[in-house]
Amino acid sequence: MDKLIREFLEYIELERGHSPLTIRNYEAYLSKFADFAKENGVSSVEKIDLGLIKKWRLTLHRRELANKTLNYYMISIRSFLKYLSKMDIKSLAPEKIELADTPERQINFLEKEEVERILAVYSGSGLLEVRNKAILEVLFSTGTRVSELVNLDIDQVNLQRSEFSVLGKGGKRRVVFLSDSARDALQQYLDKRHDQDKAVFIRVVTVREEDKQKETGRITTRQVERIVKEAAKRAGIVKQVSPHSLRHSFATDILRSGADLRSVQGLLGHASVTTTQVYTHLTDKHLREVHRKYHNQKEGNDHANAH
């Protein structure tokens, strides 16, 4: 089993293009399952059955894991079994593993007025303020993940066309688009740069003795998270705000403006439209208002015409 798990991890790295974080998580989940299986007399994949899976699920449940976390364990096993099936190695059918019910995913997004307040926070002319404004503008304009943003290189950006390409999950590349304000903010920031670093967004350190700001390499995801959090605080927004909140806000904004689900899926880089559908309930209120306005108007006109 250990050998096949290693081969599976190599497969999802080389053939499926999963991120290093995903591979590490799968390795951790499957290693724990393999140890549990051996403790229960199962050392080969042929002997994996629903009884063993049920016992493992019960063990995890008794550790008071949330259903969401428990599902991660089950998903890793199911993916492993799918790989075994693909390789014609006899084992339990992956579709026999069911996932636990989880609460509907809560999407933390910002209303338009809140986004405007956050984007207006960094208004200074220094490199740090200009960089931070560009980060916020780009996150909201493109809906990129924070990991995609920090890995962005200057040669991927085409300011004339107001677009750039990002390498998303699964090694899939897509093109995202800059609004006029995001393009201008990014241009202003890049014009202020005097370094040779290939990264679009870099760390900036203030050298106190000289009272100057020094560029020191690619920015990290944690730093971007702090920048967004500080912006929300300055804007007087009390709810939790993260870079992903701006991604959610981007998706909600374009859906409410009339974009179709497939287009939003492409812009966000979702492998499946099912993932994108999580945003549709956010627009329900907006759609109800549209329905009430136009449907009632039609009924009113019809009623008037009848008389």
Instruction: Find the length of the chain.
Output: 307
Q: How far apart (Å, rounded) are the C-alpha atoms in residues 121 and 236?
A: 10
Residue 270 designated active-site? yes
Question: Which one, of 253, 254, 216, lies nearest residue 109 by Cα?
Answer: 253
Active-site choice (26, 29, 73, 279) = 279
Active-site choice (78, 133, 183, 247) = 247
Residue 61 designated active-site? no
Q: How far apart (Å, rounded) are the C-alpha atoms in residues 305 and 297?
A: 12
Active-site choice (32, 117, 169, 193) = 169
Residue 307 designated active-site? no
Q: How far apart (Å, rounded) are the C-alpha atoms in residues 184 and 266?
A: 24
Active-site choice (18, 57, 131, 270) = 270
Contact 74, 92 (CB under 8 A): no
Contacts 24+ apart (CB under 8 A), 64-67: 67/100, 67/101, 67/102
- CA neighbours within 13 Å on the CB side: how many for 162? 12
Q: How far apart (Å, rounded) are the C-alpha atoms in residues 222 and 174?
A: 24
Phi (first) and psi of residue 222, to 5 degrees: -60, -40
Residue 247 designated active-site? yes
Residue 145 designated active-site? yes
Active-site choice (78, 145, 183, 248) = 145
114-137 per-residue burial string, b: 16 or more CB within 10 A, e: under 16: bbebbbebbeeeebbebbbbbbbb
Contact 60, 73 (CB under 8 A): yes
188 three-class SS: helix
Cα-trace Rg, the chain: 24
The catalytic residue positions are: 145, 169, 244, 247, 270, 279
